[in-house]
Amino acid sequence: MRAAFWLLTLFAIAVAVALVAGNNQAVVTIFWPPHRIDISFNLTVLVLAGVFLLLYVALRALSAVVSLPLEARRWRAQQKERAMYGALMDALAHQLAGRYIRATKSAQTALAQEKSLGLIAGQPGQVTGYSSSRSNQLQSLAHLLAAESAQSLQNKVLRDQHLQLALQSSEPRNAQEVREGVQLRAARWALDDRDAAASLDWLTQLPQGAARRTLALRLKLKASRQLRQTVQALDTARLLAKHRAFSPTAAQSIVRGLALELLNDAHDPAQVQQAWLSLDESERAMPELVVHAASRLMALHGDVALARAWLLQVWESAMQPRSDIGDSLRIKLITVLESGFSSLDATWLARIEAAQIGRPRDANLQYLAGMAYLNRQLWGKARQLLSQSALGLQDATLHRKAWRALAVLAEQREDGEAAAHAYKQAAQL
């Protein structure tokens, strides 16, 4: 369609020229004393058009001849730039393929091409579109690839050299993102070398926004755990969970593990209470943390009433018909409650008794109630419940304690045969 329009346009121009110039009798007279030259108007127009075209072609030819050196420089610069980017892509490809020596050589080739490109261009941007910001970024990336390859080859001297050069190349403000990437990689390398303190130093040099990115927080979490800085690691894990860096199950597991470490690091009751108060409400609602905190507080001879107050929510949850608390945690709960029987009040004794009556076939509750009665010197009830629990307990520790308690009760009755039998059963466990 476009060709048809052009053809119609040419025909229109030809018709217009024929109508104007066909019957044009005009004459142009040139007086050049003592001569007089008469030329038709049509010929004059053709001559002027020809002269214009001739001058235009001559000027274009002269401009092309004059610009030949500049075009040659531009062509050479383009070839260098293509070779430079090609070498950089080769370095990345070799790095991903695990060919670290080839990756280092390709990165060094890219740096050499970049240097020669700067010499050809005189100043960046004059010959090609290659700007100073691209130059800084390319140098930093090339040095970073070389440093990464050296790290994989355990050549720390070469790695540190390229790392410093990458940091120098990324000092300008237009290469800030590349600099942040270099610092993050340096923090990761420090972690690989088991130098968590150096890793945290690199992370502290990051800007505030970059330090809150998921990658930086992951590195900070690993470094804090290596240095056993539990409080900082716990805060970092909370941020990662808030950013959804982990699945909900994994986040809960990591936070729970760090909270357990925080409680284990407490060496007196005041520290246990301080660690407990430093936890979030959602963390203080985790049954595992509640039981462990109460266990630590009792083990350090803290306030037993406070520990039982913490355990109350877990106890109520465990006594529900369809509780999701596992058997191992139930046994630990029973063990913690048993360790505080010396100061057991009537309220908790009533709770234990009601729970055992509500579940008469639960061997664990039979054991707990039997030990509570034994502590209160209710020998008959204790003997009955402990004898029943000894037939159904699955945990070896509780089973052994039950037989030992039965042996003590038999000795009080002066029943040597029953005591010997109970001690024998305990020894076999």
Per-residue pLDDT tens digits for 368-395: 999 999 888 888 888 999 899 888 889 8
pLDDT at residue 14 is higher than 90:
no
Q: Which pLDDT band, with edges at 50, 70 and 90, does 134 fall under?
A: confident
pLDDT at residue 70 is higher than 60:
yes
> Tell me, what's the pLDDT at 33?
82
Structure tokens at 227: 């240095």
- Give the CA distances from residue 208 to residues 12, 203, 239, 361, in Å, rounded to whole numbers and listed in that order: 71, 10, 14, 59
> Tell me, what's the pLDDT at 41?
76
Comparison of pLDDT for 336 and 414, the residue scoring more: 336
Q: Which phi and psi angles does 340 have, rounded to 5°?
A: -110, 20
pLDDT at residue 237 is higher than 80:
yes
Secondary structure of 327-361 as H, E, C letters: HHHHHHHHHHHHHCHHHCCHHHHHHHHHHHHHCCC
pLDDT at residue 273 is higher than 50:
yes
Burial 191-211 (b: 16+ CB within 10 A, else e): beeeebebbbebbeebeeebb
Spatial contact of 144 and 185, defined as CB atoms under 8 Å apart:
yes
Q: Domain residues of the chain, as ranges?
A: 24-59, 244-320, 346-429
Q: Give residue 14's Cα distance to chain centre.
A: 73
CA proximity to 425, closest of 223, 406, 166, 380? 406
346-429: CATH topology: 1.25.40
pLDDT at residue 122 is higher than 60:
no
Cα radius of gyration (the chain): 44
> Tell me, what's the pLDDT at 403?
92
- Give the CA distances from residue 136 to residues 165, 309, 385, in Å, rounded to whole numbers and listed in that order: 11, 62, 79
DSSP per residue over 107-153, as a string? HHHHHHHHHHHHHHHSSTTSSSS--HHHHHHHHHHHHHHHHHHHHHT
- Give the CA distances from residue 359 to residues 319, 353, 368, 382, in Å, rounded to whole numbers and listed in that order: 9, 10, 12, 16
pLDDT at residue 293 is higher than 80:
yes
> What pTM does this model have?
0.75
Classified as helix, coil or strand, 390 is helix
Per-residue pLDDT tens digits for 309-326: 999 999 998 888 888 888
pLDDT at residue 121 is higher than 70:
no
Tokens 């005041």: give the residue.
270
> Tell me, what's the pLDDT at 133?
65
> Tell me, what's the pLDDT at 170?
81
Q: What is the mean pLDDT of residues 234-249?
A: 90
Q: Which pLDDT band, with edges at 50, 70 and 90, does 126 fall under?
A: very low
Among 18-22, 159-163, 318-322, which is the least confidently predicted range? Answer: 18-22
Spatial contact of 84 and 110, defined as CB atoms under 8 Å apart:
yes
> Tell me, what's the pLDDT at 421?
87
Among 15-19, 123-127, 368-372, which is the least confidently predicted range? Answer: 123-127
Distance CA 155, CA 166 (A): 16
Distance CA 199, CA 231 (A): 17
> Tell me, what's the pLDDT at 118?
65
pLDDT at residue 124 is higher than 70:
no
> Tell me, what's the pLDDT at 39?
78
Q: What is the mean pLDDT of residues 277-284?
A: 91
Q: Which pLDDT band, with edges at 50, 70 and 90, does 217 fall under?
A: very high
Q: Which pLDDT band, with edges at 50, 70 and 90, does 127 fall under?
A: very low
